[in-house]
Amino acid sequence: MHMEPGIVDSTKIVLSYATASACALYAAKLSLDHVRQEGALSLLLRSALAALLVFVFFEVFPHAPVGVSEVHLILGSSLFLILGAAPTAIGLAAGLALQSLFFEPQDLAQYGMNVTTLLAALFAMQAVAKRVLPAKLAYVDLGYAHVLKMSVVFQGGIVAWVAFWTLYGRGIGAETLQSVGSFGAAYMSVVLLEPLIDLGVLAAAKWLRARSGARGSVLLTHRLHHAA
């Protein structure tokens, strides 16, 4: 989902500063809500864990350039289910920043676009989760259909934002549309894999709960083991 340098030139890239700022404001609102409900320590620890995992997902996990961007296995839905919305948002932004600063400095100019793509997709997934995930179920009891919907929204959001930035920067043309289509088709293939990983992660959390008897942790979101 990294935008390639030059797709949006310096005269247009100012829009990404506005969209990234809007995402940051909403992430701040989520963070304040988290602190009120679960405390500042849990936000700090979960955000640090999320940032480390996101950095690994970006820099260590296999990724490939396709069309106008790169295909990554980001596991945003897994992070959301385990850590919650606010730590995941902070982790996505911080992990992306770490990768850009230390390993991909050419991506710094595109940071506003890239972080908007990730956070806007996350917030859309959060909104859908509130509507489609049964309140009577803890996350560990979700089924494949539930996590598939979340993955489709998250990955679809990423594809939609990459398409927007590309068309905004390059305009509409046959070659551009073909490149966007290639990226979208490749990225949506992640939808087939991510729900299986989500279910594996949730099954592990459920097994640990049964083995230890613990139903809460400063490192895990309350909803993981409890109904809403």
pLDDT for position 216? 63
As a whole number of angstroms, the distance between CA 49 and CA 54 comes to: 9
pLDDT for position 93? 97
Mean pLDDT for 61-76 is 78
pLDDT for position 213? 58
Q: With 90 as the cut, is the pLDDT of residue 176 above it?
A: no
pLDDT for position 184? 82
Burial-class residue 66 by CB neighbours within 10 Å (0-12, 13-18, 19+).
middle
pLDDT for position 54? 94
65 DSSP β-pair partners: 70
User: Which residues lie below 8 Å from residue 11, measured CB to CB, with a gap of 6+?
Assistant: none
Mean pLDDT for 217-224 is 88
Mean pLDDT for 33-47 is 96
Measure Cα distances from 50 to 5, 110, 113, 154 in Å. 26, 21, 20, 16
Q: With 70 as the cut, is the pLDDT of residue 41 above it?
A: yes
**86 vs 2, higher pLDDT:** 86
**26 vs 198, higher pLDDT:** 26
Q: With 80 as the cut, is the pLDDT of residue 214 above it?
A: no
Please report which confidence band the pLDDT of residue 215 belongs to, taking 50, 70 and 90 as the band edges. low
Mean pLDDT for 144-159 is 90
Instruction: Go through the domains of the chain in sequence order and give each one's CATH number.
Output: 14-224 (1.10.1760.20)
pLDDT for position 164? 94
CA atoms within 13 A on the CB side of 78: 22
Question: How many C-beta neighbours within 10 Å does residue 194 have?
Answer: 23
Q: With 90 as the cut, is the pLDDT of residue 71 above it?
A: no
Please report which confidence band the pLDDT of residue 34 belongs to, taking 50, 70 and 90 as the band edges. very high
Q: With 90 as the cut, is the pLDDT of residue 55 above it?
A: yes
The per-residue pLDDT of the chain, averaged, comes to 89
pLDDT for position 1? 67
Please report which confidence band the pLDDT of residue 89 belongs to, taking 50, 70 and 90 as the band edges. very high
| pLDDT tens digit sequence for 105-132 | 888 889 999 999 999 999 999 999 999 9
pLDDT for position 193? 84
Q: With 90 as the cut, is the pLDDT of residue 195 above it?
A: no
Question: How many C-beta neighbours within 10 Å does residue 74 have?
Answer: 26
